[in-house]
Amino acid sequence: MTRAQLERDFERFKRALPRDFAAHVRDSYRVDLSARYLGCPLAHPIGKGSGQLSLNAAQLADDAAAGLAYVVLKTVIAQDATGAQAMAAWAIHETRMKVERRPAGGRAGWTVTWKGRGWDRSFEEYLELVRTGRGITAESRMPVVPSAKYHLPRLGEPFRDEEYQYTTRRLAETWGVPPLLLEVDFSPTLAGDALAGDRAQILRWLREVPGRIRAASPTPARLAVKLMNARYDDAFQLEMMAACADAEALVCFNRLFDAERGVAYGGWELSDRNLRVLDATSDPLTARPPDRPSLVGTGNICSGRMILEYARRGCESVQLHTFFQLPLSEYPATHGSRTQRALHALVFHPQDGLVAGMLELEESGALARHDGVLYFLDVARRAH
């Protein structure tokens, strides 16, 4: 009965996805998709990761209209009051992106190849985008959160506090009503840089950066640290997570770095690695403290099933980039924006969608109803 209804919804929503599809899922299937990001309650777990798809007002408006849960803006490179940027090498201009197939272990997959790095326009233009995002949040309740990359010194060198102070103060003023929500990026190109050649240096950044941003903010701030996939083993990923105990959330983990080609990449190798490391965090010997930080998944999320893989390892929401960028022919929906088509497949696909996956967890006894309702957040809660 429920399966037949899922097939029917999948078919009819190919033409148009209801804006409040989470309410439809709750009413029709008694499945509650509520999720969380940096303490914000979300209608469902699917957000957009920072990158080339959150650069302008038109993209944000499309995402709000599609019913996306939240958006993280492109990463801006911090500066001081004179405009000096210690990390200026990350503020380069590059427009060409290539969406490519990247199979791994017999599985078809995708990656986006791109040589660019951070926000390449002025800081004032970035603040204008943050302001636009605040307006969209007020109208649609879709959180739009800035992302920044700050000065990262070599061991023994001091942090450039002027950059931390100026950038954070301007972001907080533009944001308005506290708390400021902010993501801090430690990007894959950083993992490929000589700066990240020293483990102690990376751990110092992770230990100190959240506190420096908090100290620089004139209002209370909630910080998500987006961790890179460093060029070391899984144990070091766990060390990085532990070093960041001071953040409110950890986004696990940004793309892998191909040193030969000098580009970041995703696909199955990325999700294999991320899920393997997150698995290790539920090992009692390496377990994180139960109260914080909360976890957010990213990497090769192309189905509701994959959202549940991250959720089963504790992630309370997810951030996608590549799946919002595929050729239109790859989505089963026939109408709507790419975001709508992606959401349609992620939520309603009768085999691989989020609803189907939740019902399957129930059938296998891995997830139980409360007062007749299945809760997405119960999947993440069980991981702790």
Ligand X SMILES: Cc1cc2nc3c(=O)[nH]c(=O)nc-3n(C[C@H](O)[C@H](O)[C@H](O)COP(=O)(O)O)c2cc1C
Tell me the number of residues near ligand X by CB under 6 A: 27
Q: Where would I find the beta strands (DSSP E) of the chain?
A: 31-32, 35-37, 40-42, 46-48, 70-77, 97-101, 110-114, 144-149, 180-185, 221-226, 249-252, 256-258, 263-265, 294-298, 315-320, 374-375
CB neighbours of residue 352 within 10 Å: 14
The residue whose Cβ lies closest to ligand X is: 49
Query: Binding ligand X by CB under 6 A: which of 32, 163, 185, 316?
Result: 185
- DSSP 8-state code for residue 137: H
Give the pair of three-digit tokens for residue 181. Answer: 């929500």
Query: Binding ligand X by CB under 6 A: which of 77, 301, 308, 354?
Result: 301
Minimum CB separation from ligand X for residue 54, in Å?
9
Considering only 201-209, 289-297, 313-321, 330-338, which stretch makes contact with ligand X by CB under 6 A? 313-321
Residue 112 in contact with ligand X, rule: CB under 6 A:
yes
Minimum CB separation from ligand X for residue 95, in Å?
11
Task: Let me know how long the chain is.
Answer: 384
Q: Encode burial over 1-17: b for 16+ CB neighbours within 10 A, e otherwise.
A: eeeeebeebbeebbeeb
Residue 168 in contact with ligand X, rule: CB under 6 A:
no
Residues 189 to 228 in contact with ligand X, rule: CB under 6 A: 226
Choose between 187 and 303: whose C-beta lies nearer to ligand X. 187
Query: Binding ligand X by CB under 6 A: which of 59, 165, 298, 317?
Result: 298
Residue 55 in contact with ligand X, rule: CB under 6 A:
no
Alpha helices (H) along 114-233: 123-140, 161-175, 188-191, 199-216
Non-local (6+) Cβ contacts of 239 within 8 A are: 199, 203
Considering only 19-27, 217-225, 295-303, 370-378, which stretch makes contact with ligand X by CB under 6 A? 295-303
Considering only 133-141, 156-164, 215-223, 314-322, which stretch makes contact with ligand X by CB under 6 A? 314-322
Residue of 35, 69, 71, 31 lying closest to 50 (CA atoms): 71
Q: Binding string, 246-285, against ligand X, x = CB under 6 A?
A: --------xx----------x---x---------------
Considering only 238-246, 316-324, 341-349, 373-381, which stretch makes contact with ligand X by CB under 6 A? 316-324
Distance, CA of 87 to CA of 167 (rounded, Å): 13
Angle subtended by helix axes 161-175 and 199-216, to nearest 10 = 50
Q: Is 134 helix (H, G, I), strand (E, B) or coil?
A: helix
Choose between 43 and 91: whose C-beta lies nearer to ligand X. 91
Minimum CB separation from ligand X for residue 118, in Å?
6
Choose between 78 and 112: whose C-beta lies nearer to ligand X. 112
Residue 114 in contact with ligand X, rule: CB under 6 A:
yes
Query: Binding ligand X by CB under 6 A: which of 133, 293, 299, 353?
Result: 299
Q: Binding string, 338-367, against ligand X, x = CB under 6 A?
A: ------------------------------
Minimum CB separation from ligand X for residue 166, in Å?
20
Distance, CA of 295 to CA of 50 (rounded, Å): 16
Residue 309 in contact with ligand X, rule: CB under 6 A:
no
Q: Judge contact between 340 and 66, C-beta under 8 A.
A: yes
**How many alpha carbons lie under 13 Å from residue 135 in its C-beta half-sphere?**
10
Query: Binding ligand X by CB under 6 A: which of 323, 348, 375, 376?
Result: 323
Phi, psi at 7, each rounded to 5° = -60, -45
Residue 152 in contact with ligand X, rule: CB under 6 A:
no
Alpha-carbon separation of residue 52 from 174, 316, 351 (angstroms): 22, 24, 30
Choose between 216 and 301: whose C-beta lies nearer to ligand X. 301
Residue 52 in contact with ligand X, rule: CB under 6 A:
yes
Query: Binding ligand X by CB under 6 A: which of 32, 46, 50, 344?
Result: 50
By DSSP bridging, strand 97-101 and strand 110-114 are antiparallel
> Which residues are at the interface with ligand X (CB under 6 A)?
49-52, 74-75, 97, 112, 114, 118, 147, 185, 187, 226, 254-255, 266, 270, 298-301, 319-323
